[in-house]
C-alpha cells in the first residue's frame, strides 16, 4: 500500500471530538434494584468509551493507520509484553513496513526485537540484516517467564506481519465477522515458518476486536453504543474472575460477552485493586 493511499484513508477516517457517551455507570452510588449483570454492562460501556477517548487523541495526533498499528501490537503482547510490543511498533512505523513483503516484515520485526538467533534462524537473520534495519541501541525487555509456546512474542510477530496489511478490516468489516477474518489472515506465514495452527487464536482475536476495533470505531463515530451487547468475549482473565467472584461469591455464570467482561475489568480496577478499599469497606459490595 502506498503512502498516498494511507494518507487518503487517514483523512477519510477522522476522529470525532465529541462522540456520544453513555450515562454514568452508577457503580459508586448504585440505585436499588440494579442487578449485577446490569452493573457489569454499565461498567463495560464506561470502560470502552474511556478507551475511545484516549484513542481519539492518538487518532488526531498520528492518524488511524499508525494508531491501529500500535494498538494491534500492544494487544498481541498481552499484559506482560504490551509495552515492548508497542515500542516496537513505534520504532518500526507502518509506513516503513507496509511496502515490504510479509516474510521480510516478519524478519525485520523479529530481528529488531532481538528474538532471532543466528544459529537457529539463519535464513530470517540474513533477510533481516540485508534489509538495513539495525538493532536498537536499547534492548527490548521481553518477559518470557512461564510463557506458553503459543504466546511467545516470536509467534505473535508471525501473526502481526500479515495483519499489518489488513488494518483497514478493523474499521470496515462487520464486528461479527472480524475475529475469524483476523485469525485467518494471521495464518499467512504458518507454512513458510512451519507453524502449527494459527498464531492468533479466536479468543485473542476477540480481545483485539473489543480492545481496539470497538474503541476506534466509537472514537470515529462509526459505531453506536447500542451495538456493543453481542460482542464475543475473550478467555476470562484473573481480574475478571476475581471481580465476578466478589460480586457473586462464585465463578458460576461468568460473563462470556466482551461488554460485561470489560465491565468486570473496570470494576476490578475501581474497587478490587483500590488499596483504600477491602471487601468489608467496598461501597459496591455493601450495596449487593
Q: Which three cell numbers stand for residue 59?
A: 487518532
In the chain, domain spans: 50-233
pLDDT of the residue at 149: 87
Look at residues 155, 63, 169, 168 and name the one whose alpha carbon lies nearest to residue 109: 155
pLDDT of the residue at 20: 44
Q: Give the pLDDT confidence of 177-187 residue by residue, as tens digits.
A: 999 999 999 99
Indicate if the alpha-carbon torsion angle 235, 238, 242, 245 is positive or negative: positive
| Helix H or strand E encompassing 89 | helix 82-91
Query: Which residues, at least 6 apart from 240, have a Cβ–Cβ distance to it below 8 Å?
Result: 254, 255, 261, 264, 265, 268
pLDDT at 207 over 50: yes
Q: How confident is the model at residue 45 (pLDDT cuts 50, 70, 90)?
A: very high
Q: How confident is the model at residue 231 (pLDDT cuts 50, 70, 90)?
A: confident
pLDDT of the residue at 34: 56
pLDDT at 19 over 70: no
Average pLDDT for 46-55: 95
Q: Give the pLDDT confidence of 123-171 residue by residue, as tens digits.
A: 999 999 999 999 998 999 999 998 888 889 999 999 999 999 999 999 9
Grid cell 460480586 in the structure block, residue: 247
Grid cell 465491565 in the structure block, residue: 263
Q: What percent of the residues of the chain are helix, what percent strand, and what percent coil, each to the nearest 5?
A: 60, 0, 40
Q: Give the pLDDT confidence of 73-103 residue by residue, as tens digits.
A: 999 998 889 999 999 999 999 999 999 999 9
Q: Which three cell numbers stand for residue 118?
A: 543466528
- How many Å apart are CA 29 and CA 176, to the nearest integer? 34
pLDDT at 4 over 90: no
Average pLDDT for 59-83: 94
- How many Å apart are CA 66 and CA 58, to the nearest integer? 9
- How many Å apart are CA 79 and CA 62, to the nearest integer? 24
- How many Å apart are CA 179 and CA 170, to the nearest integer? 10
Q: How confident is the model at residue 121 (pLDDT cuts 50, 70, 90)?
A: very high
Q: Which three cell numbers stand for residue 265?
A: 475489568
| Residue 16 and residue 219 in contact, taking contact as beta carbons nearer than 8 Å | yes
pLDDT at 33 over 80: no
Mean pLDDT value across the chain:
87
Amino acid at each position: 500500500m502506498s503512502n498516498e493511499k494511507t494518507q487518503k484513508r487517514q483523512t477519510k477516517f477522522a476522529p470525532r471530538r465529541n462522540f456520544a457517551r453513555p450515562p454514568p455507570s452508577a457503580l459508586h452510588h448504585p440505585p436499588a434494584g440494579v442487578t449485577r449483570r446490569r452493573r457489569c454492562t454499565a461498567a463495560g460501556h464506561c470502560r470502552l468509551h474511556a478507551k475511545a477517548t484516549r484513542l481519539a487523541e492518538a487518532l488526531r495526533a498520528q492518524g488511524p493507520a499508525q494508531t491501529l498499528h500500535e494498538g494491534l501490537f500492544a494487544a498481541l503482547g498481552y499484559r506482560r509484553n504490551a509495552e515492548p510490543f508497542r515500542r516496537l511498533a513505534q520504532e518500526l512505523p507502518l509506513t516503513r513496513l507496509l511496502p515490504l513483503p510479509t516474510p521480510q516484515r516478519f524478519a525485520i520485526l523479529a530481528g529488531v526485537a532481538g528474538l532471532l538467533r543466528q544459529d537457529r534462524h539463519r535464513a530470517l537473520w540474513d533477510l533481516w540484516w540485508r534489509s538495513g534495519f539495525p538493532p536498537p541501541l536499547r534492548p527490548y525487555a521481553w518477559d518470557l517467564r512461564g510463557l506458553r509456546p503459543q504466546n511467545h512474542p516470536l509467534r505473535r510477530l508471525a501473526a502481526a506481519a500479515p495483519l499489518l496489511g489488513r488494518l483497514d478490516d478493523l474499521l470496515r468489516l462487520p464486528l461479527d465477522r472480524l475475529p475469524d477474518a483476523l485469525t485467518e489472515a494471521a495464518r499467512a506465514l504458518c507454512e513458510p515458518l512451519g507453524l502449527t495452527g494459527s498464531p492468533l487464536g479466536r479468543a485473542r482475536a476477540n480481545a483485539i476486536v473489543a480492545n481496539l476495533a470497538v474503541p476506534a470505531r466509537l472514537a470515529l463515530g462509526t459505531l453506536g453504543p447500542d451495538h456493543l451487547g453481542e460482542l464475543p468475549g475473550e478467555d476470562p482473565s484473573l481480574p475478571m474472575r476475581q471481580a465476578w467472584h466478589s460480586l457473586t461469591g462464585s465463578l458460576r455464570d461468568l460473563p462470556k460477552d466482551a461488554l460485561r467482561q470489560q465491565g468486570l475489568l473496570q470494576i476490578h480496577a475501581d474497587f478490587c485493586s483500590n488499596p483504600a478499599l477491602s471487601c468489608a469497606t467496598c461501597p459496591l459490595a455493601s450495596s449487593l
